[in-house]
Amino acid sequence: MPLKKKKFLVTGADGFIGSHVVEALVREGADVRAFVFYNSFDSWGWLDRVPEDLKGSFEVFAGDIRDPNGVREAMKGVDIVLHLAALIAIPYSYHSPDTYIDTNVKGTLHILKAGADLCVERIVCTSTSEVYGTAQFVPITEEHPVVGQSPYSASKIGADQIALSFHRSFGTPVTIIRPFNTYGPRQSTRAVIPTIITQIASGAREVKLGKMSPTRDFSFVKDTANAFLTMAEADGVVGEVVNFGSGFEISIEQTAKAIARLMNKDVSFVSENERMRPVLSEVDRLWAGTEKAQRLTNWQPAFGGLSGFERGLAETIDWFQDPNNLTLYKSGRYTI
């Protein structure tokens, strides 16, 4: 399925991963409609800051994924939908869970219903490694049980199951991409890596974190964006759930120390209670099994393993240390 001949809709295009996906598609010559969240500031999120050579090279549709009418309008004339629009902050899901059902579950339902009616060629729905909960075995394969340990992860489990039900019931050409922990330029400080970098870059010598013992499988955003393009064009992935990750695990504490070393700063790290998840909600271990991705798509991470992780961290640090970027963040403030 050559990308150059297809019309894409990318939902959540104004966000961290979505903006990188839009850039990757445009550079491949695809025709892209970027669905951004409607707001009175006329902001396109991160798409306002794309490189100069990409400005004007994609269409923008402002709407709300919770509105089925706008979703249907955005999907008219589209061949492939990459559905990334979601609420993703885990702490925020504890006190505003209704918004996660409306956005993540019902928003996905709106995409599926419109996609089925309009006969789109493929819908790539975005899942998350959080649906697995704490690893019961590693590497985590797609056969691992799903365990909702937060309202966020439960909403994503619901969205995944609705997507698969449309495939089973109506033959809707759905595939589910399940990225593990993505990091890179433009990420919110709701995530741990930008939290560490922005605090150090702003001069902190005591970096405030949550629990530091959990392990994660961090994937650089360029690899994740490439995974979306792969799932858009690969044969044999419709009806499937496919993990994408770097294939190794590292603790939050080890990650923090690696960042401090790469930034050449002598800092200490402290856990704060307000940054802790509820005890039974914490996911203590994530490590991606990517054999299925490699078997079905021949995808390989360019930033895999420890060496790739450090290369990705270095690129991420460089971006955040640019004063034009760092000033966009409230470093040191706990962002839920």
Residue 110's alpha-carbon distances to 8, 57, 71, 115, 131, in angstroms, are 17, 27, 7, 8, 21
Maximum distance among all Cα pairs of the chain, rounded to whole angstroms: 58
pLDDT for residue 1: 63
pLDDT for residue 5: 84
The DSSP code sequence of 158-214 is: HHHHHHHHHHHHH---EEEEEE-EEE-TT--TTSHHHHHHHHHHTT-SEEEES----
pLDDT for residue 283: 97
Q: What is the pTM of this model?
A: 0.97
pLDDT for residue 126: 98
Instruction: Report the 10 Å Cβ neighbour count for 319.
Output: 17
Domain 3-184+218-244 shares a fold with domain 192-214+249-284+304-326 = no
Residue 215's alpha-carbon distances to 136, 178, 192, in angstroms, are 13, 17, 12
**For residue 249, what are its two tokens?**
């695990």
Backbone angles phi, psi at 240, to 5 degrees: -110, 155
Whole-angstrom Cα Rg for the chain: 19
Asked if residues 207 and 267 have their Cβ atoms less than 8 Å apart, the reply is yes
Parallel, antiparallel, or unpaired for β 250-251 and 215-216?
antiparallel
Stretch (H or E) spanning 165? helix 151-170
Query: Which residues of the chain carry a pLDDT beneath 70?
Result: 1
CB within 8 Å of 69: residues ≥ 6 apart: none
**For residue 112, what are its two tokens?**
């599926």
Q: Which residues of 93-118 are buried (b: 16+ CB within 10 A; e: fewer)?
A: beeebeebbebbbbbbbbbbbbbbee
Please report, in angstroms and rounded to a whole number, the separation of the first and last CA atoms in the chain. Answer: 39
CATH superfamily of 192-214+249-284+304-326: UDP-galactose 4-epimerase, domain 1 (3.90.25.10)
Backbone angles phi, psi at 178, to 5 degrees: -120, 85
Could you tell me which of 237, 215, 8 has the C-alpha nearest to residue 142?
237
Summarised one tens digit per residue, pLDDT across range 84-99 is: 999 999 999 999 999 9
Report the SS3 class of residue 244: strand
What is the residue type of 248? F
Map out the domains of the chain as residue ranges: 3-184+218-244, 192-214+249-284+304-326
CATH superfamily of 3-184+218-244: NAD(P)-binding Rossmann-like Domain (3.40.50.720)
Summarised one tens digit per residue, pLDDT across range 116-165 is: 999 999 999 999 999 999 999 999 999 999 999 999 999 999 999 999 99
The 8-class DSSP code of residue 311 comes to H
Taking the C-alpha atoms of residue 153 and residue 165, their distance in angstroms, rounded to an integer, is 18
